Amino acid sequence: MGIVHWDDIDGHRAAKGEMDATWQQLGKAAGAVGIGVNRMRVAPGRLPTPPHSHGASEEIYYVLGGAGLAWQDEQVHELRAGDCVIHRADEMEHTFIAGPDGLDCLVFGTRHPTEFGWLPRSGAVRIGWPWIEGRVDDPWDVEAEGPQLAVGDPAPRPPNIINIDEAERDVTRRRDTALLATDERSVLAGFYWERLFPGAIGAPPHCHSEEEEAFVMLEGDGTLGLWPSPRAASSGSVREDVPIRAGHVVVRPPGTRIAHSFRAGPNGLTMLIYGTRKTNDMCWYPRSNKISWRGLGVIGRIESLDYYDGEPDDDEEQP
C-alpha cells in the first residue's frame, strides 16, 4: 500500500567525530523506488553529515523542530522550524549544525543509479574508461580526524532557504498551500506544505505513470483514498479508504495503476508534499476518465476498453 508511521520505523544512529545524528529511512519502509525520504535528528551542537554536494541528486530539507545553522559554501545561515532548504544538484557544498536543543529535519531526495566498476585486488574504481584509486575504509573516519568545521557569524538567508511563513500562498476554499520548492527554486522535484480544511479533498484522485510522490502528515487526520484502474480492478484491486494521522508517511511510486487522493477529517489535515518532475509523465484521473499528457500540455477523456476489445476470435478463424 505504501504507507508507514514514523513511530514504527527504527532509527539508526551515526556518530563519528563532530557528526552525530539518528536516521529513519521512512521512504524505504514505505516502498519508495526513485526517491529517498529520511528523518534525521541531529544531536545538540553536532553535524548530521560532513559537508558534501551531489553531482546528480537534488535534496530538500524541512525543519520539523529545533533550530541551528545551515552551512553552505563556508557560510552559515540561521534555521528554525518550518524552514525549507533546497539544494540543487552540483551546486553548494552543505551540511547543518544543530542548536542547543538539537535539530529535527525531514530529508527528501532524488536517486540516480551510477554505473561504476570495482576491482578489489588493485583497489581501482572504473568510471567509464578512466579510473581512480579506491579505499575500503570509512570516509567518515577521515572526517572525524580532521579539524572542526569552521563556523562564522550567520549571514543573511539566501534564496534557497525559505520558511512556510515567508512563502507565496495559494489559498482556495478547500486548502491553503505554501509554495516552497517551485520551478524557480528547484529542478528535479517540487515540494509544498499544505493544509486541507475540515472535510475537504485535496488534488483529485490521480495516478502518475513516471513521477513519484511522497506525503508526510504533520497535523490532523483524514483518509487516503485508493482508486484502482480498470486493469487493476480486473486483477482484484478494490476501492479503499485508509485512515491516516500525523506521522504517517505515504509513498506513491510511478505506474502503480492505483490512483490516490486525501480527504481531511473534522480537524483538518496538514501535510508535506514532495513529487518528482518528469517531462514524459502521464496522469490518469479515475473519476472523470481523463488523462493528462504533462509534457504536451494536453488533457483528454478516454474510454476504457478490455485488452481484447475489437480483436477477432482467432479460434473461429482456424480452418
Residue pair 281/294 in contact (Cβ under 8 Å)? The answer is yes
Q: Residue 148's closest CA among 82, 71, 206?
A: 71
Residue 317 confidence class, pLDDT cut points 50, 70, 90: low
pLDDT bracket for residue 316 (50, 70, 90): low
Q: In this predicted structure, which of 30-39, 249-258, 269-278, 310-319 has the lowest mean pLDDT? A: 310-319
110 and 54 share one domain:
yes
- What is the Cβ-side half-sphere exposure of residue 233, based on CA atoms within 13 angstroms? 13
Q: 312 in a domain, yes or no?
A: no
Contact criterion met (CB below 8 Å) for 159 and 84? no
In order, the DSSP letters of the chain are --EEEGGGS--EEEEETTEEEEEEEHHHHTT-SSEEEEEEEEPTT-BSS-SB--SS--EEEEEEEEEEEEEETTEEEEE-TTEEEEE-TTS--EEEEEEEEEEEEEEEEE------EEETTTTEEESSS-EEE---S-HHHHHHHSPPPP--SPPPPPTTEEETTTSEEEE-SSEEEEEEE-TTT-SSEEEEEEEEPTT-B-SPSBEESS--EEEEEEEEEEEEEEEE-HHHHHTT---EEEEEETTEEEEE-TT-SEEEEEEEEEEEEEEEEEEE--TT-EEEETTTTEEEEGGGTEEEE-----TTTT---TTTT--
Cα–Cα distance, 179 to 194 (Å, whole number)? 9
- Domain for residue 308, yes or no? no
- Which one of 129, 161, 193 terminates a domain? 161
Same domain, residue pair 103 and 233:
no
Does residue 286 lie within any of the structural domains?
Answer: no
Contacts for 237 with CB less than 8 Å, ≥ 6 apart? 228, 257, 258
**Domain-located, residue 52:** yes
Give the number of domains in the chain. 2
317 within a domain of the structure (yes/no): no
From the list 269, 87, 295, 270, the residue with the least C-alpha distance to 208 is 295
Q: What is the tens place of the pLDDT at every residue in 93-150? A: 999 999 999 999 999 999 988 767 877 778 888 877 788 888 888 988 989 988 999 9
pLDDT band at 30 (very low <50, low <70, confident <90, very high): very high
Which is more confident, 72 or 123? 72
Q: How many CB atoms lie within 10 A of CB 89?
A: 17
Flag whether 106 is in a domain. yes
End of a domain among 161, 180, 196? 161
**pLDDT score at 65:** 98
pLDDT digits (tens, 9 = 90+) for 183-211: 999 999 999 999 999 999 999 999 999 99
Mean pLDDT of the region 157-179: 97
pLDDT at 134: 87
40-44, 92-96, 257-261, 293-297: which range is least confident on average? 293-297
| pLDDT above 80: residue 259 | yes
Predicted pLDDT at 99? 98
**Which pLDDT belongs to residue 254?**
96
318: confidence class by pLDDT, cuts 50, 70, 90: low
Residue 313 lies in a domain: no
pLDDT band at 266 (very low <50, low <70, confident <90, very high): very high
**What confidence tens digit (pLDDT) does each residue in 211-223 have?**
999 999 999 999 9
Shared domain for 43 and 157, answered yes or no, is: yes
| Domain match, 21 and 144 both | yes
Say how far apart CA 20 and CA 65 lie, in whole Å: 17
114 & 191 share domain: no
Q: Are residues 151 and 173 in the same domain?
A: no
Please tell me the distance from the alpha carbon of residue 44 to that of residue 66, in angstroms, as a whole number.
9
pLDDT mean over 258-272: 98
Residue type at position 90: D
Same domain for 150 and 13: yes
134 located within any domain: yes
Q: What is the mean pLDDT of residues 275-284?
A: 95
Residue range(s) defining the domain that contains residue 236: 167-279
C-alpha cell at 70: 545551515
18 and 144 share a domain?
yes
For residue 30, the domain's CATH number is 2.60.120.10
| Rounded Cα distance, 161 and 139, in Å | 28
Q: Which pLDDT score is estimated for 28?
A: 96
Rg (CA), the chain: 23
Regarding whether 187 and 129 lie in a shared domain, the answer is no
Instruction: Give the pLDDT of residue 304.
Output: 86
Q: Are 177 and 112 members of one domain?
A: no
Residue linked to cell 475537504: 200
| b/e sequence 107-124, b meaning 16+ C-beta within 10 Å | bbbbeeeeeeeeeeeeee
Give yes or no for a contact between 106 and 41, defined as CB atoms under 8 angstroms apart: no
Mean pLDDT score, 295-311: 89
Amino acid 308: pLDDT: 86
User: Taking the CB of residue 295, how many other CB atoms lie within 10 A of it?
Assistant: 12
**Are residues 48 and 149 both part of a single domain?**
yes
Query: Residue for cell digits 578512466?
Result: 130
Q: Say if residue 177 is in the same domain as residue 96.
A: no
